[in-house]
Chains A and B, each alone.
Chain A
Amino acid sequence: MAYSEKVLEHFQHPRNVGTLDKSKNNVGTGLVGAPECGDVMKLQIKVQNDTIVDAKFKTFGCGSAIASSSLATEWLKGKTIEEAQKIKNTDIVQELNLPPVKIHCSVLAEDAIKAALADYQKKSDTEPVDTK
């Protein structure tokens, strides 16, 4: 199976690889997936005045999983918490041209975003934003 150019581009030049200090109150960490499923994503956000000022990821997984999480960090930076809540896996599928067998990678990226946001909100004790 050939990868889309966008997946390859993110895979070859992953954005925002790294780790933020998870003990900080303004850092939210999401760790999703499982080694036995073949993919684990760690996605972190740093928030100032309700805006995501930094995002980092590390991913154990295939090229599409790495590209999905790389793209997610790119999108998160500069967004408010409320805007970030609205990122959907389908947006990632579309942007990266993911084939059906790789849709789970985008789902995992959305889960990672949600988990990082929830962790931040729990820490900062703000009310979860209703996105409905």
Chain B
Amino acid sequence: MKRVYLDNNATTPCDPRVVEAMLPYFTEKFGNAASRSHPYGWEAEEAVDYAREQIATLIHADPKEIIFTSGATESDNLALKGVFDMYRKKGNHIITATTEHKAVLDTCKHLAEQGAEITYLKVNDKGLIDLAELEAAIKPTTILVSIMWANNETGVIQPVKEIGEICAKKGILFMSDATQAVGKIDVNPREMGIHLMAFTAHKMYGPKGVGALYVSRKNPRVKVTAQMDGGGHERGMRSGTLNVTGIVGFGKAAELARKEMDQDMARISKLRDRLETTLKNKLEEVYINGDPAHRMPHVTNMSFKHVEGEGLMMTFNQRMALSSGSACTSASLEPSYVLVALGLGDDLAHSSLRFSLGRFTTDEDIDIAIQSIEEGVNHMRSLSPIWEMYKEGVDLSQVTWSPH
């Protein structure tokens, strides 16, 4: 059976051209990039330098501004903890938002235990932070603002340029988790006034387990305190033998993204729009979550009212992969905190699906998706007591439920 993969925000497949570029570095060119005394090391170092340049070119940065890590989680940790440690004398206040990835939120929680003061900005019903609220939250002790470029669940793009301007005006550092944006849309941290930026290879057709932190080197020159002790690699900010194969793949993925991004995205956004409009036309009570005007071109997060997301996914999960904002599997039974932060209401959050398309998504995939979703939603509604009540005209908000 043909399987359809629409979960590219979770991870992307490696592009075969990426794998091809990586292969020699497992076997023939296996050297340690830090070995200065023989050609094995030189070869590896050269490959890392080349990849660093490919990645820097993609984000319009200087290669020296790229610090390799194990992925975006580590980059987020290094940026937040590293800035807190380095600039603590200046202040202890960090501003972030409630819809950030756990790699940022949990790191902030950790820092709060170390004496940091954290402000969590709310988002509006479209998923966007309020710039006036951000400005008002800044105090003399604020050292860092951490706001993601694009949200992983909704694809909503924050006003990074305006945030950068506010940070520049107030003289504080701006860090952005751009994991979901790099390689998909044009990302230029310098132009946006971003000083630190996290991203990862496996969301842009590169391998898993390699990421980067962009650290601005001039105007201002930013430094982060290393979070691991060791050989002092990566200009002392991140020790550990470099993952040469991974980095080579990351570099190749960046080069491909730079060359093919515009073309890819023009095609993918058309597919996304077709998926969205067809489903909205075919089914009643369908809602789009997140601001359609400020959104990644390959993502749509939709709620199918009165149908529970996980159950819905079970109707097609043998042939199609996507994610739900329902968290029936988690012990807490809490639906997605990102969707709840949009003020969605827990019922709509439980009814949500995230479709994230990618470079390898085809027209046929979208046909299958439309058919699967239409059939699944209709089937699940035929089983749903609240759909039945809704159809009978019962005002569900007036029903006395028994929450458990």
Contact = CB atoms under 8 A, between A and B. Distances in A.
A62 B383 contact: no
Interface of A (DSSP majority class): mixed
A59 B307 CA distance: 9
A17 to B, nearest CB: 6
A3 B328 CA distance: 13
Contacts of A52: none
Q: How many residues of B sit at the interface, in one of the four size bands?
A: 20 to 34
B21 interface: no
A77 B113 CA distance: 56
A71 interface: no
B312 to A, nearest CB: 9
Interface of B (DSSP majority class): loop
Contact of A35 (B350, B388, B404): B350
A58 B333 contact: no
A34 B384 contact: no
Given A17-B382, A37-B403, A104-B333, A63 B346 contact: no
Interface stretch (A38-46, A80-88, A122-130): A38-46
A38 B333 contact: yes
A61 B399 CA distance: 18
B219 interface: no
Contacts of B346: 35-38
B310 A60 contact: no
Nearest to B306: A60
B345 interface: yes
A39 B308 contact: yes
A123 B387 CA distance: 26
B401 A33 contact: yes
A63 B387 contact: no
Given A19-B388, A37-B333, A38-B350, A61 B402 contact: no
Nearest to A11: B314
B347 A35 contact: yes
Scoring A58, A60, A108 by chain B CB atoms within 10 A of each residue's CB, the highest score goes to: A60
A113 interface: no
A119 interface: no
A19 B307 CA distance: 18
Interface string A78-107: 000000000000000000000011101001
A65 B380 CA distance: 12
A35 B333 contact: no
B297 interface: no
Contact of A33 (B311, B326, B402): B402
A39 B308 CA distance: 8
A31 interface: yes
Given A17-B382, A59-B384, A60-B387, A34 B404 contact: yes
A66 interface: yes
Nearest to A103: B331
Nearest to B315: A11
Contacts of B382: 17
Interface string B388-400: 1000000010010
A66 B330 CA distance: 17
Contacts of B399: 31
Given A37-B333, A37-B404, A62 B314 contact: yes
Contact of B328 (A19, A58, A59, A62): A62
6 contacts: A1-B329, A35-B346, A35-B347, A37-B350, A42-B388, A66-B383
Interface of A: 1, 3, 11, 14, 17, 19, 31-42, 58-66, 100-102, 104, 107-108, 111
